[in-house]
Amino acid sequence: MKEKVLLFSLLFAAYTSHSFAADGFGTKTDNSEDKTEIKEKKKSRFTVGGYGEAVYSRNFYSDKYTRYINPENYKNESHGRFDLPHVVIFIGYDFGKGWSMGSEIEFEHGGTESAFEIEQEEAGEYESEVERGGEVALEQFWIQKSFCPQFNIKAGHIIVPVGGTNQHHMPTEFFGVYRPEGENTIMPCTWHETGLSIWGQAGDWRYEALIIPGLDSDRFDRLNWVKNGAGSPYEFKIGNAVAGAFRLDNYSIKGLRLSVSGYVGNSFSNTLSGNKDSQRYKDVKGTVAIGAFDFHYNDHNWIVRGNFDYGHLSDADIISTVNKNMSQNSPSPQQDVASSAIAAGVEAGYNLFSQFSKLDNKGQKLYVFGRYDYYDSMYDSKVPLYQYCGRQRVAAGINYYPIDEIVVKGEYSIGLLKSFYNNEPAISIGIAYAGFFTK
């Protein structure tokens, strides 16, 4: 019995950030099986899995870096893009006696996380962008001790489960071809840090509490708020400031998960900028506080998901001034950052194949869905120049599941901006997988 509990803890923890079981993935066990059959189907200690996405988008708007500065010059333009947003390999192992490990290696956009980009504003110069030091993104690497399902300790590089997308970011866990745009804009996504996590599940409740490094205020900007503060351009993550995060999930109602999560930590001291040690900045904290609510409903052939996130940054005016005066050779984008940001979204899809017994019996699904988002990375800004940072987005499309682990997606979306900007419609298609390769 003890071995089964530990094995369950490993599989539950291995994809804690993805929650297969909560979203309909996981293998169900038939209680009618006898002990001999169960022994024959015993899962291996070695676990291999992953997920991946390949997409194409035709965007019916300009991709020029000045499209928000002189929008009247860029009407009726379009461009197309092929992309591999995320390809991830997961490897886990159960050492026994409650000890286990997990790791994820991520290839983002098919590359090494080092690329050239055109600066979106000002001179339109080509710049080399490095999101994190190293050539491969290590999204997770942790060692875990499981005492019981209600209490587990995990240490290493782990997912920060703040917001719905960070906790459930596999392509089979959202309807859009790309991840939900609001949360993916204003906060790190997928957010992973080196730290310590305590988590467990008892009855209808699951909890997780984390101690992790604070964000780096040098890397905040107007388009993405604090998102890029989680990465590091160095071969280490600065740890001058320690932050805390938590998540609480409830499954009391059949088919429904309700979740709250949050984060708080200082950011201004968590940089390598030497001039911040002066008396002038002794009271500047740059405290980032984020509160989030998300839910997931899956029953009666409907899937409905939603999120609301609000974040506040103290001393945002001082951080903006300091960042804009930093050296051009620094990793800072040298931009203003807002004192608050917001993101809200909801999506709903109905499985049409549930009405056709032949297709339903084969386990195939075809969801027709709609989604609405509102987000603003400069929520408190009164500067008209930055009003393109706030927008609404409406999308509709289909998700076809020939089997549970594979999905083919198609979507039409339109970004609705303030009247003096051009709206941003797009058509996107994609194919994705997510699952374990070992049983």
In the numeric block, which tokens belong to residue 434? 């997510």
Helix and strand element counts for the chain (H, E) = 6, 19
Closest Cα to residue 312, out of 374, 246, 379, 384?
Answer: 379
Helix-, strand-, coil-residue percentages of the chain, each rounded to 5 = 15, 45, 35
Q: Is 14:92 a contact under the CB 8 Å cutoff?
A: yes
Domain ranges of the chain: 2-436
Look-up: residue for tokens 């956009």? 109
Separation of alpha carbons 287 and 267, rounded Å: 6
Q: Per the omega criterion (within 30 degrees of 0), is the bond before 190 cis? A: yes
In sequence order, the 6+-apart residues with CB closer than 8 A to the CB of 214 are 240, 241, 242, 243, 265, 266, 267, 269, 270, 288
Residue-level pLDDT, tens digit, the chain, 439 residues:
444 434 434 444 444 444 433 333 333 334 333 444 444 456 689 999 999 999 999 999 999 988 998 899 999 999 999 999 999 999 999 999 999 999 999 988 876 655 555 555 555 555 555 554 435 688 899 999 999 999 999 999 999 999 999 999 999 999 999 999 999 999 999 999 999 999 999 999 999 999 999 999 999 999 999 999 998 888 888 889 999 999 999 999 999 999 999 999 999 999 887 666 678 888 999 999 999 999 999 999 999 999 999 999 999 999 999 999 988 888 889 999 999 999 999 999 999 999 999 999 999 999 999 999 999 999 987 667 789 999 999 999 999 999 999 999 999 999 999 988 999 999 999 999 999 998 7
Q: Are 415 and 376 in contact (CB under 8 A)?
A: no
At 12, which helix (H) or strand (E)?
helix 2-14
Rounded to the nearest angstrom, the gap between the alpha carbon of residue 66 and the centroid of all alpha carbons in its chain is 28
DSSP for 27-72, please give it.
----TT--HHHHHHTPPPSEEEEEEEEEEEEEESS---TTTTTSGG
**Taking a C-beta distance cutoff of 8 angstroms, is the pair 105, 92 a contact?**
no
Q: Say which residue the tokens 């290493």 belong to.
A: 156
- Residue 236's Cα: distance from chain center in Å? 22
Structure tokens belonging to residue 35? 């002990």
| Residues near 262 by beta carbon (within 8 Å), at least 6 away in sequence | 162, 245, 246, 289, 290, 291, 292
Q: Which fold would CATH assign to domain 2-436?
A: Porin (2.40.160)
**Angstrom distance (rounded) from CA 106 to CA 364:** 29
Angle at 396 between CA 394 and CA 401, to 5 degrees: 140
Quote the CA–CA distance of 281 and 319 in Å, as a whole number: 10
Q: Tokens 């960070």 appear where?
A: 166
